[in-house]
Every structure is written in structure tokens, then in C-alpha cells.
Amino acid sequence: MQSIVVGFSAGLLAISAQHPVHAQDSNSASLDARTILLKSLRTYYRMSSYNGRANADTLVLTTDGKTLRQIGTAVEIKYKRPNKLRIDFTTPIGSRIVWSNAIDLGVYDPLSRKFWIVPSAPNMDTMLPLLEKTAQIGTLFDPLYGLSRQTLPSQLNGFILKKKSTFNGHPVYVVSANLKASPSSEWTWWIDVNTSLILKVEQLQRNIVQEIPYVEDGKQLTKNITINLMMRSVISDARPNAQIADGDFSFKPPAGATPRISQGGTGAAAR
């Protein structure tokens, strides 16, 4: 199964035109842009709990920007420091529940009625790689990332602060940066001026070569096409330091569900 990207957001609204700051201001702008993003991440990092909802979209694009395919995921996250977590995903092809009750990290797939459970991580910083390995969940330098870490990787650079804009009626800073990794990607964040919360984040990977199957003269063949891939997350509801009952982080797979071998270890009965 492909990785699920977590973001906490909803309806994408038009935003006003944005222009990069002038070249002569690039040094101070770069510093300001990075500072704004770090302030946002540290705002999440200081939260004792969080409850948020989002729409996360994966878009397959042609190299000139036309949409070939779009997959939307509705996401709800509940979190209580240091390591209690509940994430509910809903997609057109099914749903998934991920939970950490501070002792176990579990995943339940209602479509297959399978679940798998591994030991949880002691904190959110160590939880991120476990979520990737066990539940195929990645983050977009989004609220989940901020709840987990307050620093940025050295590969993220080239920060640009664009002029202030508005998003869904909120004044926002629009910050962009490049991640020098394999593959490289371009990032843009819409950050609330007043609260420092992330309202939207996009990741764009360009010129990805993808192999696709096709049939010609009765033969099954493949060909390569070049695409762009965009991950977009828009926050619809965010409640910092929300009152969340501990029981919300416990989940028992329904009767008839069966354990399976997980990517992170051996399936076990829910505790």
C-alpha cells in the first residue's frame, strides 16, 4: 500500500496572487521565511494535546500541470503528549484506523478486517519512523511533524517569503522552500499570521518517470511517462490543547477481525 500523507485540512479556496520578494531582499527574506516556519512548528511542539481534521489530496499531474488523477483522504487526528495518538483515515477505496495507547501502536483495516499491533514509541519524535514502517504514514512538515519535532532538516533550504495573502478568510504568510533529497521536492506553506498554525501545505515533485502498462496487438506491454506528483493538505479544523479522554486512544478491533503479520512485527491480539 502506498504511503498515506497526513495533513489536517479541508476545502481549498482561492487565494490572492503572491509574488516573491525582490532579489535585493533575498537574504533577509530567507531568514524571515525560515523563522516563520520554525515558529509555526514550535507552536505545535509546545501543545500538550491536539485535535484536528484535514483533507489530504494526492494529485498526479502532467508536466504542464494538467491533473491525470486525484485521490482524496479525509483525516482526523487526536494526540496527547507524550505518545497517545489516534488517526482516522477515510478514502474512496476504504478507511484505516491507527492508534497508540502509550503501550501499543495498532493499525486496523476495515476493508480486509485485518489488524496488527506492535510496541509503541515513547514519544512522537521516535513515533514518526514507526508510523512510516508500520502504518505507511508520512508527514508533510505539517501539524503532525510539528507535534513531533521543532527542527528542520539541513536538506530543506532556499526559503522564500512571499507577500502576505489570505486563505479561507485568514491572513497568512506564504513560505516556500526546496528539499534537496532523492527525489527533490518543492514545498509551500500557508501559515496563519495570528496563530502560527499551518492552514495548508503542498509538496511538489517534478519529472518523475512512471512505468504504466498497456495492451497492443494483444500483447501486454509497458511504457514510461513523465509526471509531476503533488501532495496537498488543507486544515479544516484545529483545536490546540483540546480536552481528549484517554479512552479515545484505545481501540479494540471488532469481532471477526483477525491479526496479520505487520511490516513492523508480528500481529497480536488487541489488549
CATH of residue 224's domain is: 2.50.20.10
In a domain, 264, yes or no: no
In a domain, 95, yes or no: yes
In a domain, 62, yes or no: yes
* Segments forming the whole domain that contains residue 225: 4-259
Number of domains present in the structure of the chain: 1
Along the 271 residues of the chain, how does pLDDT read in single tens digits? 344 444 433 222 222 223 333 333 344 455 599 999 999 999 999 999 999 999 999 999 999 999 999 999 999 999 999 999 999 999 888 899 999 999 999 999 999 999 999 999 999 999 999 999 999 888 889 999 999 999 999 999 999 998 789 999 999 999 999 999 888 999 999 999 999 999 999 999 999 998 888 888 898 989 999 999 999 999 999 999 999 999 999 999 999 999 976 444 444 544 4
In a domain, 78, yes or no: yes
In a domain, 265, yes or no: no
pLDDT score recorded for residue 191: 97
In a domain, 266, yes or no: no
* Cα–Cα distances in angstroms (integers) from residue 66 to residues 2, 12, 70, 112, 153, in the given order: 22, 17, 11, 34, 31
In a domain, 98, yes or no: yes
pLDDT score recorded for residue 113: 95
In a domain, 112, yes or no: yes
pLDDT score recorded for residue 183: 83
